[in-house]
Amino acid sequence: MQDEPTPEELIKAVADFLRDEIVPEIKGHNAFKLRVGINALDLVTRQLALAQASDAAETARLSRLLGMQGSLMELNRALCDRIANGEADLQTPGLSEHLWQTTLAKLAVDQPNYGSYKRELGSEGG
């Protein structure tokens, strides 16, 4: 086990420093490029914080849905094959809920400030 700060804390500290101290000093296209870089650091921080739990939840949902075990990649491939072969569709029990939960987990990492995502979380009480 490594001592603190964690990788997440280090990345967040760098992003915050760049956002708060450097961005105000830079103008034009370079400021835009710097904000893109900061957004990438923020995204990586969210991936590090959320990916393990969301991948585990997705794997568990897929295992239940498909009635089989495997890696997340294997299970997703099996689901894609079933959909492509017409063996599964939105009428398949649990599939639409699985897809919705997977979408929300991906938005939590990629676009946590997306208005529709925030509204959906509010409608779920979370």
Q: How far is CA 14 from the centre of its chain?
A: 21
Percent of the chain with pLDDT over 90: 90
pTM above 0.85, yes or no: no
pLDDT (average), residues 41-63: 96
What's the pLDDT at 123?
Answer: 83
Q: What is the pLDDT of residues 79-123, one digit of tens each?
A: 999 999 999 999 999 999 999 999 999 999 999 999 999 999 888
> Mean pLDDT over all residues of the chain?
94
Q: Cβ of 79: how many Cβ atoms within 10 Å?
A: 19
- Split at pLDDT 50, 70, 90, the class of 2 is low
Residue 41 CB partners (closer than 8 Å, separation 6+): 11, 12, 14, 15, 18
Q: Mean per-residue pLDDT for 41-69?
A: 97
Identify the pLDDT of residue 71. Answer: 98
Q: Quote the pLDDT of residue 124.
A: 74
